[in-house]
Amino acid sequence: MTVNILFAAKEERWPTYEPHLRRALDDKGLDYDLRRDFAPDEVDYMVYAPNSDVQDFTPYTRLKAVLNLWAGVEGITRNDTLTVPLARMVDDGLTQGMIEWVTGHVLRHHLGMDAYIVNPDQEWNLIVPPLAQDRSVAILGLGALGRACAETLVGLGFKVSGWSRSPKEIAGVTCHHGENGLTETLAEAEILVLLLPDTPATENTLNAETLAALPRGAVILNPGRGPLIDDNALIDALNSGQIGHATLDTFRIEPLPADHSYWAHPRVTVTPHCASETRPASASRIIAENIARGESGQPFLYLVDRDSGY
Ligand code: NDP
């Protein structure tokens, strides 16, 4: 029987995704109809992005699963009208993009590159950075992305630690978990990377107290989500010198409002939620794999635990 797949992400994504999705679904040998419009009660699977027009899932009576195109699911996981399995995106291209963004920004701060890139007075001022082996980088969140970044930074020789909800073992990484583990992780972090999901439990993970637990002058990179940080506490910590620099890719309101104090702050770098994008070719293979699994009665990959919110 033909499987009806609704592409429910924004219309402008359709031309980019359609050929990749068709190729991946063909490769799986599925008998399918892929469209942007179906009557709700005809849809078997929904390819979804949180800014989709679909917010009420009640009319989708035949729906077997919602397959999210993004890694972050905060825009859908709290939707009570969704009662079928929800899978998030874990995609090689997305992971590689995040490794590159995190590594690039860690190296920027580790090497002190700004002093030479922004050097209006043309000063010949040699500053010798420590070697990576003497630089501590900590990652909050050791999931698909945090773990891959941690492993890459270990490969470059950095002293890497990390924090997650459950215990982890990652070669070369000092892994902490649970509430007490956070303070231990922060105490070691000259450069701190946030790769936690946005859930009720992670909101304001960085607040006045936890920012004070970092070494003085620590650098923060936030490619995770805006609500992980109490913004007022971060501005205070930047102004006092407790935090040396913050490179922020994600914000509570996006695009970041023009009058937000982050834009003008001399020790904040704003990037426009560009750390890593879902890549249509590799992501389409994950979507097709999950639909094939659904049709053959196998468990879906990368299911979201709706109770924990990620
Ligand atoms: P995962 O779900 O694979 O990993 C999440 C990690 O966070 C896990 O290690 C998890 O612990 C940990 N965690 C969750 N809640 C807590 C908590 N309360 N206390 C301690 N640790 C916690 O997600 P991904 O790695 O795939 O993605 C992480 C986030 O990155 C996404 O949710 C999204 O917000 C962001 N992102 C940003 C992008 C950008 O362009 N800026 C692009 C893609 C993603 P445990 O392992 O024990 O479950």
> Mean pLDDT over residues 176-194, rounded?
96
Q: Annotated active-site positions, please? A: 225, 273
Output Rg (C-alpha) for the chain, integer angstroms. Answer: 21
User: Would you call the peptide bond into 120 cis, given omega within 30 degrees of 0 as the criterion?
Assistant: no
Q: Which residues have any ligand 1 atom within 6 Å of their CB?
A: 71-72, 90, 94, 141-146, 163-166, 195-199, 201-202, 223-225, 249-250, 273, 275-276, 310
Q: What is the model's pLDDT at position 51?
A: 86
Atom of ligand 1 nearest to the CA of 70: 43
pLDDT at 30 over 90: yes
pLDDT of residue 50 exceeding 90, the answer is no
Q: What sign results for the dihedral spanned by CA atoms 104, 106, 111, 114?
A: positive
Q: Which long-range contacts (CB under 8 A, 24 or more apart) does 119-127 make?
A: none
Average pLDDT over residues 196-212: 98
The whole-number average pLDDT for the span 67-93 is: 96
CATH 3.40.50.720 positions along the chain are 3-91+278-296, 92-270
Tell me what pLDDT residue 77 has: 94
Q: Given the cut 0.90, state whether the ipTM is greater than it.
A: yes
- On average, the pLDDT of the chain sits at 97
CATH class for domain 92-270? alpha beta
How remote is the CA of residue 143 from the centroid of ligand 1, in Å? 5
Ligand 1: nearest atom to the Cα of 276 = 40
- pTM, rounded to two decimals: 0.97
The CATH architecture of the domain made up of 3-91+278-296 is 3-Layer(aba) Sandwich (3.40)
